[in-house]
A and B are shown apart, each in its own frame.
Chain A
């Protein structure tokens, strides 16, 4: 059992900076968990606190049920892969991989054999005599992984595992890592600032800001139902449209008013709104429909910019003072200057309270309802 449990975990620095603020989080055994957030949000500090490289100021940390809050870094049974891989330049690949075993006092021949074994599984068999300086970025990463695997820890910690790789390599490495973790089944926590990476690789993820967790959930949850405006803005390769609106209503039912345009209340917020509530209507460009003919319950505007995304186009429409975006499949792009009508898809649109940015939504009907995250170009 190698779950990770954090209760009230805090890391504060002298001088008043709180990098991790009263964190409560449980990561299940075997999970591939992502810590996502902008720089300075505390995700790396949290990772280092789990590793023991930073001492928690208060709170509890349990690894596999054991309290390790004050345990020394080498005694927690975790392996960490650093952003720069930290391969010892003066040792060849074999000795690098065998290093954890050396600390465990395994005999020379035995640990070299084990190193070879591990390396073969990662396709490194030809490189065993090389020094890290003679390896490519991708190879270095695999050696660092092999070293962590050789340690046979309960938990893997990855600090920005892909950011040191070229863009092309990064995508391959993503798939590779996901598959590897699936095969090994070891609880893994990785830190990243790239939301697409987190969504693609993680089983579950936490979005952090200023030392706090803003939302925990599966990538699908987080993509389809961001719990607050911060997460809504952070997730997604194109920014979510957030439109200020007011709830208005008749006895027959409520609707949203944007200026003098009437829009339907999204399905997810049904029954939760009251008259005169000030809200933000959230609609991802991928879930916003564009039509060059007038439609009911849609926002009228003028096409301002059309950006080519390959198999689709990102169209920016000027509506009053707002610029609202929609993704349009190729072939349907409108012309600049044309009038257009934008309709937020009712099943996907979200409502946020204007005052505190919190999502207004019912509990999801079935967990299986939204499993996949759409891939954008």
Chain B
């Protein structure tokens, strides 16, 4: 039927007034703790706000000074670069490939084995971050962790010697579950009859993948990549492992913001960087939405 007015879908007879009252509390909370901070960053970023000292009591407007400083600051550029590496290594490459690989291989494996593997992968994802961070600290050990015992490399403190590699491997381990679940669902949705047609025509596994499976999951690959990139970009757990060290060697952007703004007290400067981060998030998210919309039509 054609367009229906408000009273038709309002099955319980709430009415506009009550409905608005229902929505208001949620909107207030979201407005206060999500919208307002985001907008406030715009203002804070152009002041020299600090937690202590003169500027705390009387913040001055400094225009784009913070942004200029940021671009010139080698530590900021370092943080940005490390974050790109982090996202590239652990999300775009690590989690995607591993997630897909596992989803692909467990299809042809007995149910018990599949269950065990999926459970292990999922556990890595759902355990609280402080716990998994310590599990990896223990694993990588300060010289005598499990990994060292296995690889007979006693004395190597991986987090100190190879911080970026460590956190990249860590994050791959941590987040593979999402990609695995997503690709599992996507692979299940590939019509078996098409796969069988290819197989009967003599296609090898690789050819089946290229000709039947990949076209079906191509859209998922992209949306998955965008989503996990967004999450990884905002991930704070490197702090739990290395706190950005040694000597800023693993100081990704989230850690850098914490260290300079909240630990170091430069709130105006920190806000400017936060804004940059928000903008990057916005770009990725819009990209993602555009892709979703395209997929839907």
Residues of B within 8 A of A15 (CB): 2-3
B1 at interface, CB cutoff 8 A: yes
Closest to B3 in A: A15
Residues of A within 8 A of B2 (CB): 13, 15, 17
Closest to A15 in B: B3
A278 at interface, CB cutoff 8 A: no
Please tell me which one of the listed residues A19, A72, A73 contacts residue B1 in the complex, with CB atoms under 8 A apart. A19
Decide: B13 and A13 in contact? CB cutoff 8 A: no
Closest to B10 in A: A53
CB distance from A58 to the nearest CB of B (A): 14
Interface of A is mostly: loop
A54 at interface, CB cutoff 8 A: yes
Residues of A within 8 A of B152 (CB): none
Within 8 A of B (CB), among A17-54: 17, 19, 40, 45, 53-54
B4 at interface, CB cutoff 8 A: yes
We find that the number of chain A residues with CB closer than 8 angstroms to chain B is: 12
How many angstroms between the C-alpha atoms of A55 and B10 in the bound complex? 12
Residues of A within 8 A of B3 (CB): 13-15, 17
Within 8 A of B (CB), among A67-99: 72-73
How many angstroms between the C-alpha atoms of A53 and B12 in the bound complex? 9
Closest to A74 in B: B13
How many angstroms between the C-alpha atoms of A15 and B4 in the bound complex? 9
B5 at interface, CB cutoff 8 A: yes
Decide: A14 and B5 in contact? CB cutoff 8 A: yes
How many angstroms between the C-alpha atoms of A13 and B7 in the bound complex? 11
Decide: B1 and A54 in contact? CB cutoff 8 A: no
How many angstroms between the C-alpha atoms of A364 and B209 in the bound complex? 76
B8 at interface, CB cutoff 8 A: yes
CB distance from A86 to the nearest CB of B (A): 10
How many angstroms between the C-alpha atoms of A17 and B2 in the bound complex? 7
Within 8 A of A (CB), among B32-90: none
CB distance from A273 to the nearest CB of B (A): 41
Decide: B5 and A40 in contact? CB cutoff 8 A: no
Residues in A lying within 8 Å of B, measured CB to CB: 13-15, 17, 19, 40, 45, 53-55, 72-73
20 intermolecular pairs with C-beta atoms under 8 Å apart: A13-B2, A13-B3, A13-B4, A13-B5, A14-B3, A14-B5, A15-B2, A15-B3, A17-B1, A17-B2, A17-B3, A19-B1, A40-B1, A45-B1, A53-B8, A54-B7, A54-B8, A55-B7, A72-B13, A73-B13
Rank and list the top 8 A-B pairs by shortest CB-CB distance, nearest first. A17-B2, A15-B3, A55-B7, A13-B3, A13-B5, A14-B5, A54-B8, A13-B2
User: 17 additional contacts, CB 8 Å, given A13-B4, A13-B5, A19-B1?
Assistant: A13-B2, A13-B3, A14-B3, A14-B5, A15-B2, A15-B3, A17-B1, A17-B2, A17-B3, A40-B1, A45-B1, A53-B8, A54-B7, A54-B8, A55-B7, A72-B13, A73-B13
